[in-house]
Structure 1
Amino acid sequence: MKKYAYLFTAFSACALALAGCGDNTRTDTPSATAADTEKNHQSDGISFNLANVHRDIKTLASDEFGGRGPLSEGETLTTGYLAKAYQQAGLAPGAGESYLQQVPMAKLTPSQDMLLQLGDLQFVAGKDFTARTKQIKPRINLKDSELVFVGYGINAPEYQWNDYAGVDVKGKTVVMLVNDPGFATQDDKLFTGNAMTYYGRWTYKYEEAARQGASAVFIVHETDAAGYPWGVVESSNTGSKFTLVDDNNNSEMLPVMGWLQLAATEQLFAGAGMDYQALKAKAKMRGFKAVPLALQANLTLNSKIEQAASDNVVALLPGTELADEYVVISAHWDHLGIKQTPKGPKIHNGAVDNASGTAATLELARTLMARSKVSPFKRSLLFVNFTAEETGLIGSELFAAGGLYPSKQLVAVLNIDGMNPSDSVDYILQYGQGMSEMEQYLSEAAKAQGRKVKMDPRPQNGLFFRSDHFSLAKEGVPGLLFMSLGDTDPEYISHKYHKEADDYSPDWSLGGVEQDMALLQAIALKLANSDHWPKWLADSDFKKRRALDGR
């Protein structure tokens, strides 16, 4: 586990007693099904108040909150609003005596007047490429760095795949494809076919390149393989980004993390006397060998560095018999804030992503608190709203590191990242397949609602690896992602996702939000009144990590 250097004095240590985790060998499943749980509460008079949800989304996604950018005035308004709402609902502070868990980090803003020189070609920041760093350095010079095309940039022994075999990329600039060979071939026997593995995620590609000693990475953007248009890459990588800071100022991280637009890539390969499409076709075949491009990369990356602290919001609903075992219900509160454009500042309010999910955690806290007063839960519930999800799961990474609650005490996580504000539907989306027993919990709860489980329609996008529950998965905590981004609104991804058009509408019925909150609540109740620990199914690093905790 990384040791993060705290840039400010940390909040006081958690005052809650966290002694022991109960019997590590329990494997019995709860006797009550999700349908039984819902039946028990159909006549208790406790229901969701959609007026609350409308109000909370409208407020959080208002221009006054400025797009909820971390370290902005919008953050102060947001975390204050959430803490007050949890307090009014009767929940206890979840970070010692506070509702706020401090997340010390650095804010890095790359200058956009940089030019990327690849051989004799010059490319413009934003239009042709993006570049940023997590190293805490005001200037990084990429000088005469040899260019190498490394296919997908993957080293995966379990798939008998190594794009770095036989090539030394220390100090070099590597160009690589997004996603993984399974997507490229649509061959279910290669990686996991159309469904992206973690090896297809840009986060992995940067991490592996750093392990290989590269100085820079430029991932080639193609909309189908990435799952989003170039505009998302540009908006997400040209402004301020945040990072936790380790004891060495992140000096072992990749110096330059970049993306290259497709047209610019084709120019680059042509300039090297090569055919990009032909090499791309070869790269999806087992045994591909990296190809030096016989060109050099030059770039000066200047970054403004600010050291500051943001906050996760954490609220606790204490359990009784198993109070030191926690079911986590989460959603990130942040969005992109205010973006500077040639037409002036534009507020990215993020109403669906993720004011909707944040509002849902508040309403679930209200109803679950009311239910606990009627019939207390065995286990505790934690409601967590993470900061800086949009810049790399920063808040959840710190939370998962266990400063407040060790991973061995976290039963499971139910994470919300965008809800369906329109009418109810007859299905619920499942992200990932064969991952953990949490999928059975989802299936039973959906069946109790008369809904079917529908697999992620865009498995090639790797959404399981792109939200805050994944930070906890890496620490061995199984979970479910609840996300509705575009499956009921075909225009959302192309016209609203990470754009200023993601605004609140008073015309939303919130039927989809209501039914998903009911489903989430059923699963949370089942977990909270059980002593069963959901297991990982397939062999994976997640399963191995859980085993270290004796689960």
Structure 2
Amino acid sequence: MKEKSVKYCSLLGVAGLMLAPMLSAAPYQFNESAYRQDVKTLASDQFEGRAPLSKGELLTVTYLEKTMKEIGLAPAFGKSYLQKVPMAKITPTNPDMQLRIGDMTFKLADDFIARTEQITKQVDVKDSEVVFVGYGINAPEYGWNDYAGIDVKGKTVIVLVNDPGFATQDPNVFKGNAMTYYGRWTYKYEEAARQGAKAVFIVHETAPAAYGWNVVRAGGTSTRYTLVDKNDNMSKVGIMGWIQHDVAQKVFAKAGIDFDQIKHTAEKPGFKAMPLHMTANLTLKNHIERAESHNVAGLLRGTKYPDEWIVMQAHWDHLGKEMVDGKEVIYNGAVDNASGVAGVLDLARNFKALAGEDAPERSVLFASFTAEETGLIGAQYFAENPPVPTKQIVSLLNIDGMNMGQGVDYILRYGDGVSELEKYMADAAKKQGRHVNPDPRPQNGLMFRSDHFALAKEGVPGLLFMSLGDTDPDYIPHKYHQGADDYEAGWKLEGVHQDLDLISDVIYKLSHNRDWPKWLEESDFKKRRAQDGR
């Protein structure tokens, strides 16, 4: 729906946020020509799809550094605009790999996938006992522990995808249809590692996973990137795997158990993990390459509270290029996420131009992280190695794709009742005559799948702004993560202007008040923030 009257001039009032005296900011000035040029350049074939550790990365970070200097931002990392991110490129080398469970043998890609983030040329799973641990969740705040009473050290665990809330559709179980972090595959692997498991296999089903086996297959049989810690990631689980639903049925049937019946038992509190009385065997071989990618960031120092930072960011990377049916395809990622990076740069231009009482009192960091598409790697490194302690970071605002078409009368909110930042969004939208719409697909867990989540794990609340395909119904089915995500001269950019105006309002408020937005629901994120005294 096209908005009939969009006011692009924010009325940046800050009533009720302990601000004295009352201030109003200058209107947000959208520099359309500069925005178009940034998107067009970053999404050009010359940049080769902006893959980390490629020629495209060098061109991208050089362009961003140059632009930040021209805007007048200060280096964010000491004397540098670049933060080195140690990464490894892990490529499987045994495509004939097989998984044996009991006396059954399963085929890579068709039946299962297996990869690792451990920096090692070979991972061996030998005669590892197989245990079914339900959803593989240990969540004290929900009174839930699938690992209670079972020792899985050195064992292979099979877990269900998503969480019990989605399975039951009961709003009183976890968060009902809306995925919690406990439903994300990343959590399943993290928790299994904490429990000492050797291997994890998640049972794939399309509805709770929110994507088909083709997505799992592509991600599990090709080159992957990972962040490298001081211990070469050896604290992570050895095998990160998935199995097809029918494979699970066969394995459980061999153990004398009806899989589709027992998984419903796992939806209820008090489920007890079950040894399947068979063993797993698998050998994974890899080729390892180490290299450094880069986060890029410039700082606008606050006039009164320079040690308190607001982070505004969008990931710069995309999928690079590859040969498809004998032809080179470049994944230029114009909307995802050159559009967001250009938005961050335009916000930086606006805030740098503010003077006097309008100039931010808190510092604002304008950043662009690497390797979001391969697992939030740049964001994770930034979160674990921030230029200031996390207790000094007020919040993170994250753009992951913008509405390149006409304006709309809503803004999407990812998460509900998560943090006080949601009120900032709602207030800014109201000034524009817009309303807040909830995430139309909460079961997909988008809140946990973009860069703001890395800082959330360190206790810093954030907001995700994602408007992929808002006015282009062709985008998701035919352009998203495909070669057709290119710059288009015919874009109206009303939606971009509209959303940047809203984001500007939020940043302005946060930069002129003494508020530290709080987490609203009990979570590990809230506990982590409390450790920082916030």
**Corresponding residue pairs, total:** 518
1:217-251 Cα shifts (integer Å, max 9, x gaps): 11122222122233333333333323232332221
Give 1:112 shift. Answer: 5.7
Return the alpha-carbon distance in structure 2 between the equivalents of residues 226 and 329 of structure 1.
Answer: 30
Return the alpha-carbon distance in structure 2 between the equivalents of residues 222 and 491 of structure 1.
Answer: 26
Residue of structure 2 in register with 1:124 after alignment: 107
Secondary structure of the equivalent of 1:68? coil
Instruction: Confirm or deny that 1:315 pairs with 2:294.
Output: no
Instruction: Confirm or deny that 1:41 pairs with 2:30.
Output: no
The farther-off stretch of 231-240 and 402-411 is 231-240
Residue of structure 1 in register with 2:37 after alignment: 55
Return the alpha-carbon distance in structure 2 between the equivalents of residues 384 and 400 of structure 1.
Answer: 12
Q: 2:122 aligns with which of 125, 139, 159?
A: 139
Residue of structure 1 in register with 2:365 after alignment: 382
Give 1:298 shift. Answer: 2.2
Gaps of 5+ in 1: 1-26
Residue of structure 2 in register with 1:401 after alignment: 384
Contact 1:112 1:126 in 2 (8 A): no
Residue of structure 1 in register with 2:85 after alignment: 103
Contact 1:67 1:336 in 2 (8 A): yes
Q: 1:411 aligns with which of 394, 399, 405?
A: 394
Residue of structure 2 in register with 1:231 after alignment: 214
Residue of structure 1 in register with 2:280 after alignment: 297
Secondary structure of the equivalent of 2:354? helix
Contact 1:228 1:493 in 2 (8 A): no
The farther-off stretch of 115-124 and 405-414 is 115-124
Q: 2:420 aligns with which of 437, 450, 454?
A: 437
Return the alpha-carbon distance in structure 2 between the equivalents of residues 365 and 206 of structure 1.
Answer: 37
Give 1:185 shift. Answer: 0.4
Residue of structure 2 in register with 1:424 after alignment: 407
Return the alpha-carbon distance in structure 2 between the equivalents of residues 341 and 111 of structure 1.
Answer: 21
Return the alpha-carbon distance in structure 2 between the equivalents of residues 498 and 275 of structure 1.
Answer: 38
Residue of structure 2 in register with 1:458 after alignment: 441
Q: 1:539 to 1:32 in 2, by over 3 A?
A: farther
Give 1:271 shift. Answer: 4.9
Q: 1:355 aligns with which of 338, 359, 363?
A: 338
> What's the TM-score, normalizing by structure 2?
0.91
> What's the TM-score, normalizing by structure 1?
0.88
Contact 1:239 1:339 in 2 (8 A): no
1:427-470 Cα shifts (integer Å, max 9, x gaps): 11111122221111111100011100111111112222221111
Letter in 2 for 1:29: M
Q: 2:18 aligns with which of 29, 33, 36?
A: 29
Gaps of 5+ in 2: 1-15
Q: 1:55 to 1:268 in 2, by over 3 A?
A: farther
Q: 1:476 to 1:299 in 2, by over 3 A?
A: same
Q: 1:544 aligns with which of 527, 530, 534?
A: 527
Q: 1:494 to 1:542 in 2, by over 3 A?
A: same
Residue of structure 2 in register with 1:84 after alignment: 66
Letter in 1 for 2:289: E
Secondary structure of the equivalent of 1:305? strand
Instruction: Confirm or deny that 1:329 pairs with 2:315.
Output: no
Letter in 1 for 2:228: V
Give 1:471 shift. Answer: 1.4
Contact 1:155 1:208 in 2 (8 A): yes
Give 1:205 shift. Answer: 0.6
Q: 1:127 to 1:370 in 2, by over 3 A?
A: farther
Residue of structure 1 in register with 2:238 after alignment: 255
Q: 1:523 aligns with which of 478, 499, 506?
A: 506
Secondary structure of the equivalent of 2:48? helix
Residue of structure 1 in register with 2:9 after alignment: none
The farther-off stretch of 256-265 and 470-479 is 256-265
